[in-house]
Chains A and B, each alone.
Chain A
Amino acid sequence: MSPEVDAEVEVEAPTAVETPWRRLDVRMLVVGPLGSLGRLLPVVVILLITGQGDVTRLWIALAVAVLVVLAGVVRWRTTRYRITAERVELHSGWLNRQRRSVPRDRIRTVDLTAKLLHRAFGLSTVQVSSASKAVADASGQLSLDAVSKAEADLLRRELLDRSPASDAAPTSPAVAAGPPPAQELARLDWSWLRYAPLTFSSLAGIGAIGATAFNLVDDLGVDPRDIGAVDAAAERLGSAPVWLAVLVVVTVVLALAVVGALLLFAERWYDYRLTREPAGWGAGSGTLRVKRGLLTRRSLSVSEDRLRGAEIIEPLLLRAGRGAQCRALSSGLPGDAQGGALQPPAPRAEAHRVASVALREHPSQITEATLRRHPRAALTRRMTRALMPTAVLVAVAFVLGSVLPPVAWLGPWSLLLVPVAVFLGFDRYRNLGHELTARYLVSRQGSAVRQTVALQRTGVIGWTFRQSIFQRRSGLVTLEAVTAAGQGGYTVLDVAAQDAVALADAATPHLLTPFLLRA
Chain B
Amino acid sequence: MSTVAPTQLPLRPPAHQVSPRAVRWWQLRAALALLFVVTPQVVVLLVMGGDAPGWLAVTAGVTGALIATYGILVPPILYRIHRWEITDDAVYTMSGWLVREWRIAPISRVQTVDTAHGPLQQLLKLASVTVTTASAKGPVTINGLDAKDAAELARTLTVTTQATPGDAT
Taking beta carbons and an 8 Å cutoff, which residues of A are in contact with B?
Answer: 106, 108, 131, 133-135, 306, 331, 458-459, 461-469, 472-475, 477, 480, 482-485, 487-489, 497-498, 500-501, 504, 508, 510-512, 514-518
With an 8 Å Cβ cutoff, the count of chain B residues facing the other chain is 39
Residues of chain B with a CB closer than 8 A to A463's CB = 102-104
A and B contact pairs by CB, cutoff 8 A, 27 listed: A106-B169, A135-B136, A461-B134, A461-B138, A462-B103, A462-B109, A462-B138, A464-B102, A464-B104, A469-B98, A474-B7, A475-B6, A475-B8, A480-B137, A484-B134, A487-B137, A498-B6, A498-B10, A500-B9, A501-B10, A501-B11, A504-B104, A510-B89, A514-B89, A515-B90, A516-B12, A517-B10
Known: A461-B167, A462-B104. 19 other contacts (CB 8 A): A108-B169, A306-B169, A461-B105, A465-B9, A465-B102, A465-B103, A466-B96, A466-B99, A467-B99, A468-B98, A474-B7, A482-B135, A482-B137, A484-B169, A488-B138, A501-B11, A515-B14, A516-B11, A518-B10
Distance of A210 from chain B, by nearest CB (Å): 34
For A135, A497, A508, which residue has the most chain B Cβ atoms within 10 angstroms?
Answer: A497
Number of A-B contacts (CB under 8 A): 137
Q: A133-B136, A484-B169, A498-B6 are in contact. Are A461 and B109 (CB under 8 A)?
A: yes
Residues of chain B with a CB closer than 8 A to A466's CB = 96, 99-101
Residues of chain B with a CB closer than 8 A to A462's CB = 103-106, 109, 133, 135, 138, 140
Pairwise interchain contact B169-A501, C-beta atoms closer than 8 A: no
User: A483 touches which one: B9, B135, B140 (CB < 8 A)?
Assistant: B135
**Residue B132 CB within 8 A of the other chain:** yes
Distance of A267 from chain B, by nearest CB (Å): 30
Q: A484-B135, A516-B12, A517-B10 are in contact. Are A131 and B169 (CB under 8 A)?
A: yes
**B85-102 vs A: 1/0 string, CB under 8 Å?**
101011010001011111
CA distance A467 to B99 in the complex (A): 5
Q: A484-B169, A515-B92, A518-B4 are in contact. Are A461 and B135 (CB under 8 A)?
A: yes
The 5 nearest A-B residue pairs measured at CB: A475-B7, A488-B136, A131-B169, A484-B134, A489-B137
